[in-house]
A = this chain, B = another copy of it.
Amino acid sequence: MNNLPFRAFLTSNMDLEKAEIKKLLETCGQQEFAKGQVLLSPGQKCQHTFYVGKGLLRQYSLDNKGKEHVLQFAPEEWFMTDRESSYFGQESIYYIEALEDSLIFLIEEQHIIQLMDNFPGFAEFNNKLLHNHIRHLQQRINSLLSDPAEQRYLKFISTYPDLLVRVPQWMIASYLGITPEGLSRVRREMASRYDH
């Protein structure tokens, strides 16, 4: 099994002992998903935390007019899951989809709980992930409430520096909560400022 990218992440980012890393890698499966393949659909219970070794995932919802709303992107070294569903055992209201051919590590909720019980270092690791997720979501809400479109776009670029060329414009607009026309306008205005 090639689990190098995940191992590299774990050893470089966290204070985990070798035994903990070995245990985590043993317990999680890995799977390749083709571009367009769906990892989670509304009505399903989310069973895993997905870690992106290679490729790109997107989490989105579909409103009753059939319009998609992008909650999050997850490129390499990001985690993605619907914690609402996986932790509380509820049916998900989201899709998670591969936007590119992707290599995904699948971590089961049950294993996370076992690892937390057995390895204090892993409990800290998980706690840090949760806080990081909260930080990210809180900043996003504040940005949606208070930032003009250009500011939101700049924050998107800073959060996901390489996604501008990997994701279609309409998906970025959806993530920003603006129309594709709104995003085109922002980009034109920014470009014109650098024209002089």
A contacts, CB < 8 Å to B: 61, 63, 67, 69-71, 82-84, 87-88, 93, 116-117, 120, 123, 126-127, 130-131, 133-135, 137-142, 144-147, 174, 177
Contacts and interface: CB of A to CB of B under 8 A. Distances in A.
A63 B146 contact: yes
Contacts of A145: 61, 69-71, 144, 174, 177
A69 B142 contact: yes
Nearest to A142: B61
Given A69-B142, A130-B134, 12 more contacts: A70-B145, A71-B138, A71-B142, A116-B123, A126-B127, A127-B127, A130-B130, A130-B131, A133-B134, A137-B141, A144-B177, A145-B177
List the 9 shortest-distance A-B pairs measured between CB atoms, nearest first: A137-B137, A69-B145, A69-B146, A130-B130, A87-B131, A84-B135, A63-B146, A144-B144, A83-B134
A144 B147 CA distance: 13
A128 to B, nearest CB: 8
A152 B181 CA distance: 24
A122 to B, nearest CB: 12
Contacts of A130: 127, 130-131, 134
A87 B128 CA distance: 8
A69 B127 CA distance: 28
B138 A137 contact: yes
11 contacts: A63-B146, A63-B147, A69-B145, A71-B141, A84-B139, A87-B135, A130-B130, A130-B131, A133-B134, A137-B141, A141-B141
Contact of A134 (B120, B126, B134, B141): B134
B141 A144 contact: yes
Residue among A123, A138, A142, A174 having the largest count of chain B Cβ atoms under 10 Å: A138
